[in-house]
Structure 1
Amino acid sequence: MSSPTTVREALVAEAIGDLLSALEATRSCVGDLQASAKAVQAAGVLVDTGVKDMRNEVNALAWAAQVEVMRRVASRTEQLMRDTHAAQVKALQTSAKEILHRELSMAMQRVIQERCRALHLNLLRSWQLAVVAFSVGGTAGLAGGWWLFTFS
Protein backbone atom coordinates (compact mmCIF):
# COMPACT_ATOMS: atom_id res chain seq x y z
CA MET A 1 0.00 0.00 0.00
CA SER A 2 1.24 3.45 -0.74
CA SER A 3 1.57 6.15 1.83
CA PRO A 4 -1.40 8.33 2.39
CA THR A 5 -1.37 11.68 0.62
CA THR A 6 -3.92 13.49 2.65
CA VAL A 7 -4.69 13.80 6.32
CA ARG A 8 -7.95 12.13 5.71
CA GLU A 9 -6.30 9.10 4.18
CA ALA A 10 -3.84 9.07 7.07
CA LEU A 11 -6.68 9.08 9.59
CA VAL A 12 -8.51 6.38 7.69
CA ALA A 13 -5.32 4.31 7.53
CA GLU A 14 -4.73 4.80 11.24
CA ALA A 15 -8.33 3.85 12.03
CA ILE A 16 -7.98 0.72 9.88
CA GLY A 17 -4.77 -0.13 11.75
CA ASP A 18 -6.52 0.36 15.08
CA LEU A 19 -9.35 -1.86 13.90
CA LEU A 20 -6.87 -4.57 12.86
CA SER A 21 -5.20 -4.34 16.28
CA ALA A 22 -8.57 -4.56 17.98
CA LEU A 23 -9.49 -7.53 15.78
CA GLU A 24 -6.27 -9.35 16.67
CA ALA A 25 -6.80 -8.56 20.36
CA THR A 26 -10.33 -9.88 20.06
CA ARG A 27 -9.05 -13.05 18.35
CA SER A 28 -6.54 -13.55 21.13
CA CYS A 29 -9.29 -13.00 23.69
CA VAL A 30 -11.44 -15.70 22.07
CA GLY A 31 -9.10 -18.40 23.37
CA ASP A 32 -9.09 -16.78 26.79
CA LEU A 33 -12.90 -16.49 26.67
CA GLN A 34 -13.22 -20.15 25.66
CA ALA A 35 -10.91 -21.13 28.52
CA SER A 36 -12.98 -18.93 30.86
CA ALA A 37 -16.18 -20.51 29.56
CA LYS A 38 -14.75 -23.99 30.25
CA ALA A 39 -13.67 -22.86 33.71
CA VAL A 40 -17.16 -21.44 34.35
CA GLN A 41 -18.72 -24.73 33.16
CA ALA A 42 -16.39 -26.70 35.44
CA ALA A 43 -17.26 -24.37 38.31
CA GLY A 44 -20.95 -24.86 37.51
CA VAL A 45 -20.49 -28.62 37.66
CA LEU A 46 -18.70 -28.24 41.01
CA VAL A 47 -21.48 -25.97 42.26
CA ASP A 48 -24.12 -28.47 41.08
CA THR A 49 -22.24 -31.26 42.81
CA GLY A 50 -21.90 -29.13 45.94
CA VAL A 51 -25.61 -28.29 45.85
CA LYS A 52 -26.48 -31.98 45.46
CA ASP A 53 -24.17 -32.89 48.33
CA MET A 54 -25.60 -30.11 50.47
CA ARG A 55 -29.14 -31.18 49.56
CA ASN A 56 -28.27 -34.75 50.57
CA GLU A 57 -26.78 -33.52 53.85
CA VAL A 58 -29.82 -31.33 54.53
CA ASN A 59 -32.12 -34.28 53.77
CA ALA A 60 -30.06 -36.51 56.09
CA LEU A 61 -30.17 -33.84 58.79
CA ALA A 62 -33.92 -33.40 58.32
CA TRP A 63 -34.40 -37.18 58.55
CA ALA A 64 -32.29 -37.34 61.71
CA ALA A 65 -34.32 -34.47 63.18
CA GLN A 66 -37.58 -36.24 62.33
CA VAL A 67 -36.32 -39.45 63.92
CA GLU A 68 -35.27 -37.55 67.06
CA VAL A 69 -38.60 -35.73 67.25
CA MET A 70 -40.51 -39.00 66.84
CA ARG A 71 -38.32 -40.65 69.49
CA ARG A 72 -39.07 -37.82 71.91
CA VAL A 73 -42.78 -37.87 71.07
CA ALA A 74 -42.85 -41.64 71.62
CA SER A 75 -40.97 -41.30 74.91
CA ARG A 76 -43.28 -38.54 76.13
CA THR A 77 -46.34 -40.51 75.01
CA GLU A 78 -45.12 -43.58 76.91
CA GLN A 79 -44.57 -41.46 80.03
CA LEU A 80 -48.04 -39.93 79.72
CA MET A 81 -49.53 -43.41 79.29
CA ARG A 82 -47.71 -44.64 82.42
CA ASP A 83 -48.85 -41.58 84.39
CA THR A 84 -52.44 -41.94 83.14
CA HIS A 85 -52.43 -45.67 83.96
CA ALA A 86 -51.12 -44.98 87.46
CA ALA A 87 -53.75 -42.28 88.01
CA GLN A 88 -56.52 -44.58 86.78
CA VAL A 89 -55.32 -47.43 89.02
CA LYS A 90 -55.22 -45.07 92.00
CA ALA A 91 -58.70 -43.74 91.20
CA LEU A 92 -60.07 -47.29 90.85
CA GLN A 93 -58.46 -48.34 94.13
CA THR A 94 -59.91 -45.31 95.90
CA SER A 95 -63.36 -45.98 94.44
CA ALA A 96 -63.17 -49.65 95.39
CA LYS A 97 -62.18 -48.76 98.96
CA GLU A 98 -65.03 -46.25 99.23
CA ILE A 99 -67.56 -48.75 97.86
CA LEU A 100 -66.27 -51.51 100.15
CA HIS A 101 -66.37 -49.19 103.16
CA ARG A 102 -69.91 -48.02 102.31
CA GLU A 103 -71.17 -51.56 101.73
CA LEU A 104 -69.49 -52.91 104.87
CA SER A 105 -70.91 -50.00 106.89
CA MET A 106 -74.40 -50.70 105.61
CA ALA A 107 -74.03 -54.44 106.29
CA MET A 108 -72.70 -53.77 109.79
CA GLN A 109 -75.60 -51.41 110.49
CA ARG A 110 -78.09 -54.09 109.37
CA VAL A 111 -76.37 -56.71 111.55
CA ILE A 112 -76.30 -54.35 114.53
CA GLN A 113 -79.97 -53.47 114.05
CA GLU A 114 -80.91 -57.16 113.83
CA ARG A 115 -78.85 -57.94 116.93
CA CYS A 116 -80.42 -55.03 118.79
CA ARG A 117 -83.89 -56.22 117.84
CA ALA A 118 -83.00 -59.77 118.90
CA LEU A 119 -81.50 -58.50 122.17
CA HIS A 120 -84.54 -56.32 122.77
CA LEU A 121 -86.81 -59.33 122.17
CA ASN A 122 -84.68 -61.47 124.48
CA LEU A 123 -84.79 -58.78 127.18
CA LEU A 124 -88.52 -58.42 126.70
CA ARG A 125 -88.98 -62.19 126.98
CA SER A 126 -86.76 -62.30 130.05
CA TRP A 127 -88.78 -59.50 131.61
CA GLN A 128 -91.99 -61.27 130.72
CA LEU A 129 -90.71 -64.51 132.25
CA ALA A 130 -89.66 -62.63 135.35
CA VAL A 131 -93.09 -61.03 135.64
CA VAL A 132 -94.79 -64.41 135.10
CA ALA A 133 -92.50 -66.08 137.64
CA PHE A 134 -93.12 -63.30 140.14
CA SER A 135 -96.81 -63.49 139.49
CA VAL A 136 -96.86 -67.25 139.84
CA GLY A 137 -94.66 -67.08 142.91
CA GLY A 138 -96.78 -64.33 144.39
CA THR A 139 -99.97 -66.19 143.54
CA ALA A 140 -98.58 -69.39 144.99
CA GLY A 141 -97.55 -67.55 148.11
CA LEU A 142 -100.98 -66.01 148.47
CA ALA A 143 -102.69 -69.31 147.76
CA GLY A 144 -100.47 -71.02 150.30
CA GLY A 145 -101.17 -68.27 152.82
CA TRP A 146 -104.86 -68.49 152.13
CA TRP A 147 -104.72 -72.29 152.52
CA LEU A 148 -102.94 -72.03 155.78
CA PHE A 149 -105.25 -69.32 156.99
CA THR A 150 -108.36 -71.13 155.92
CA PHE A 151 -107.53 -74.65 157.04
CA SER A 152 -105.54 -73.98 160.14
Structure 2
Amino acid sequence: MSDLVTAREELMAVAIGDLGTLLDRVEKLAPQLDASRMELLSASSDLADMVEAYAKRMDEITENAKLQTVKHIARRADEMARGTVDTQTRAMEEAARVVFRNEIGPVLQRVTLPLQDVAELARKGARPWEGWLLHAATAVLASAISWAMATWLWLR
Protein backbone atom coordinates (compact mmCIF):
# COMPACT_ATOMS: atom_id res chain seq x y z
CA MET A 1 0.00 0.00 0.00
CA SER A 2 2.88 2.26 0.49
CA ASP A 3 3.49 2.10 -3.22
CA LEU A 4 -0.05 3.15 -3.80
CA VAL A 5 0.23 6.12 -1.49
CA THR A 6 3.56 7.05 -3.00
CA ALA A 7 2.15 6.83 -6.53
CA ARG A 8 -0.84 8.87 -5.45
CA GLU A 9 1.37 11.49 -3.86
CA GLU A 10 3.60 11.49 -6.90
CA LEU A 11 0.59 11.98 -9.20
CA MET A 12 -0.64 14.77 -6.94
CA ALA A 13 2.75 16.45 -7.06
CA VAL A 14 2.80 16.19 -10.86
CA ALA A 15 -0.79 17.51 -11.05
CA ILE A 16 0.08 20.44 -8.79
CA GLY A 17 3.14 21.16 -10.92
CA ASP A 18 1.02 21.03 -14.08
CA LEU A 19 -1.51 23.28 -12.39
CA GLY A 20 1.21 25.77 -11.59
CA THR A 21 2.41 25.70 -15.21
CA LEU A 22 -1.16 26.15 -16.37
CA LEU A 23 -1.66 29.10 -14.02
CA ASP A 24 1.57 30.70 -15.32
CA ARG A 25 0.33 30.31 -18.87
CA VAL A 26 -3.08 31.77 -17.98
CA GLU A 27 -1.38 34.72 -16.28
CA LYS A 28 0.72 35.30 -19.39
CA LEU A 29 -2.38 34.95 -21.56
CA ALA A 30 -4.46 37.47 -19.56
CA PRO A 31 -2.71 40.63 -20.96
CA GLN A 32 -3.00 39.23 -24.47
CA LEU A 33 -6.69 38.52 -23.93
CA ASP A 34 -7.13 42.01 -22.52
CA ALA A 35 -5.35 43.53 -25.54
CA SER A 36 -7.52 41.42 -27.88
CA ARG A 37 -10.62 42.58 -26.02
CA MET A 38 -9.54 46.21 -26.40
CA GLU A 39 -8.86 45.69 -30.12
CA LEU A 40 -12.27 44.05 -30.51
CA LEU A 41 -13.92 47.00 -28.74
CA SER A 42 -12.04 49.42 -31.00
CA ALA A 43 -12.98 47.42 -34.11
CA SER A 44 -16.58 47.27 -32.92
CA SER A 45 -16.62 51.06 -32.43
CA ASP A 46 -15.01 51.61 -35.85
CA LEU A 47 -17.51 49.22 -37.43
CA ALA A 48 -20.41 51.05 -35.78
CA ASP A 49 -19.08 54.35 -37.16
CA MET A 50 -18.69 52.80 -40.61
CA VAL A 51 -22.22 51.38 -40.47
CA GLU A 52 -23.56 54.78 -39.45
CA ALA A 53 -21.66 56.48 -42.29
CA TYR A 54 -22.86 53.78 -44.69
CA ALA A 55 -26.46 54.25 -43.55
CA LYS A 56 -26.12 58.02 -44.01
CA ARG A 57 -24.69 57.56 -47.50
CA MET A 58 -27.44 55.08 -48.40
CA ASP A 59 -30.03 57.62 -47.21
CA GLU A 60 -28.44 60.25 -49.46
CA ILE A 61 -28.38 57.85 -52.40
CA THR A 62 -32.01 56.91 -51.77
CA GLU A 63 -33.07 60.56 -51.59
CA ASN A 64 -31.17 61.30 -54.79
CA ALA A 65 -32.81 58.32 -56.50
CA LYS A 66 -36.23 59.54 -55.36
CA LEU A 67 -35.49 63.04 -56.64
CA GLN A 68 -34.26 61.75 -60.01
CA THR A 69 -37.29 59.47 -60.28
CA VAL A 70 -39.69 62.32 -59.56
CA LYS A 71 -37.90 64.53 -62.10
CA HIS A 72 -38.04 61.76 -64.70
CA ILE A 73 -41.74 61.15 -64.07
CA ALA A 74 -42.47 64.88 -64.26
CA ARG A 75 -40.48 65.20 -67.50
CA ARG A 76 -42.26 62.23 -69.09
CA ALA A 77 -45.66 63.50 -67.93
CA ASP A 78 -44.89 66.90 -69.44
CA GLU A 79 -43.86 65.28 -72.73
CA MET A 80 -47.01 63.19 -72.76
CA ALA A 81 -49.17 66.23 -71.99
CA ARG A 82 -47.53 68.21 -74.80
CA GLY A 83 -48.03 65.31 -77.18
CA THR A 84 -51.67 65.01 -76.15
CA VAL A 85 -52.23 68.74 -76.58
CA ASP A 86 -50.64 68.63 -80.05
CA THR A 87 -52.77 65.64 -81.04
CA GLN A 88 -55.93 67.28 -79.76
CA THR A 89 -55.07 70.53 -81.49
CA ARG A 90 -54.58 68.76 -84.81
CA ALA A 91 -57.85 66.86 -84.34
CA MET A 92 -59.72 70.07 -83.52
CA GLU A 93 -58.23 71.86 -86.52
CA GLU A 94 -59.25 69.00 -88.80
CA ALA A 95 -62.75 68.97 -87.31
CA ALA A 96 -63.00 72.74 -87.84
CA ARG A 97 -61.91 72.34 -91.47
CA VAL A 98 -64.53 69.65 -92.03
CA VAL A 99 -67.23 71.79 -90.37
CA PHE A 100 -66.23 74.82 -92.40
CA ARG A 101 -66.14 72.80 -95.62
CA ASN A 102 -69.43 70.97 -94.99
CA GLU A 103 -71.49 73.53 -93.08
CA ILE A 104 -70.27 77.06 -93.70
CA GLY A 105 -69.11 76.62 -97.31
CA PRO A 106 -72.56 75.72 -98.69
CA VAL A 107 -74.20 78.52 -96.69
CA LEU A 108 -71.73 81.01 -98.10
CA GLN A 109 -72.41 79.72 -101.60
CA ARG A 110 -76.18 80.12 -101.09
CA VAL A 111 -75.62 83.67 -99.83
CA THR A 112 -73.27 84.65 -102.64
CA LEU A 113 -75.45 83.36 -105.50
CA PRO A 114 -78.23 85.91 -104.92
CA LEU A 115 -75.63 88.58 -104.39
CA GLN A 116 -74.07 87.73 -107.73
CA ASP A 117 -77.51 88.10 -109.34
CA VAL A 118 -77.97 91.46 -107.64
CA ALA A 119 -74.55 92.53 -108.81
CA GLU A 120 -75.46 91.54 -112.35
CA LEU A 121 -78.64 93.60 -112.18
CA ALA A 122 -76.74 96.56 -110.80
CA ARG A 123 -74.33 96.36 -113.68
CA LYS A 124 -77.18 96.50 -116.09
CA GLY A 125 -78.54 99.59 -114.31
CA ALA A 126 -82.07 98.23 -114.03
CA ARG A 127 -83.08 100.37 -111.09
CA PRO A 128 -81.24 103.10 -109.21
CA TRP A 129 -81.99 101.71 -105.77
CA GLU A 130 -80.40 98.37 -106.68
CA GLY A 131 -76.95 99.90 -106.17
CA TRP A 132 -77.86 100.53 -102.56
CA LEU A 133 -79.30 97.05 -102.35
CA LEU A 134 -75.96 95.68 -103.51
CA HIS A 135 -74.22 97.62 -100.73
CA ALA A 136 -76.75 96.34 -98.17
CA ALA A 137 -76.29 92.79 -99.40
CA THR A 138 -72.52 93.20 -99.18
CA ALA A 139 -72.88 94.42 -95.60
CA VAL A 140 -75.15 91.49 -94.76
CA LEU A 141 -72.71 89.07 -96.39
CA ALA A 142 -69.76 90.63 -94.55
CA SER A 143 -71.72 90.35 -91.31
CA ALA A 144 -72.62 86.71 -92.05
CA ILE A 145 -69.02 85.88 -92.84
CA SER A 146 -67.85 87.64 -89.68
CA TRP A 147 -70.48 85.77 -87.70
CA ALA A 148 -69.46 82.46 -89.27
CA MET A 149 -65.77 83.08 -88.57
CA ALA A 150 -66.50 84.11 -84.99
CA THR A 151 -68.60 80.99 -84.53
CA TRP A 152 -65.88 78.86 -86.09
CA LEU A 153 -63.21 80.38 -83.84
CA TRP A 154 -65.45 80.01 -80.82
CA LEU A 155 -65.96 76.31 -81.59
CA ARG A 156 -62.23 75.76 -81.80
Which band: TM-score by shorter chain? 0.5 to 0.7
Q: Note if 1:92 corresponds to 2:89.
A: no
Alignment partners' CA distance in 1, 2:63 and 2:108: 66
2:105 corresponds to which letter in structure 1? S
Q: Superposition pairs for residues 1-152 of structure 1, below 5 Å?
A: 6-108=6-108, 110-111=110-111, 115=114
- What is the percent sequence identity of the aligned residues? 25
Alignment partners' CA distance in 1, 2:108 and 2:49: 87
User: Which runs of 4 or more aligned residues in structure 1 lie more than 3 Å from their structure 2 counterparts after TM superposition?
Assistant: 108-112
2:10 corresponds to which letter in structure 1? A
CA deviation map 1:31-62 (0-9, x unaligned): 21111111101000011011111111111111
Residues matched between the structures, number? 113
- Structure 1 unaligned runs (5+)? 119-152
Alignment partners' CA distance in 2, 1:93 and 1:105: 16
**What does residue 128 of structure 2 align with?**
none
1:57 corresponds to which letter in structure 2? R
CA deviation map 1:103-136 (0-9, x unaligned): 1233146448x75xx8xxxxxxxxxxxxxxxxxx
When normalised by structure 2's length, the TM-score is 0.64
- 2:90 match: secondary structure: helix
**What does residue 148 of structure 1 align with?**
none
More relative contact order in 1 or in 2 (CA 8 Å, sep 6+)?
2
| Rg larger for | 1
1:70 corresponds to which letter in structure 2? V
When normalised by structure 1's length, the TM-score is 0.66
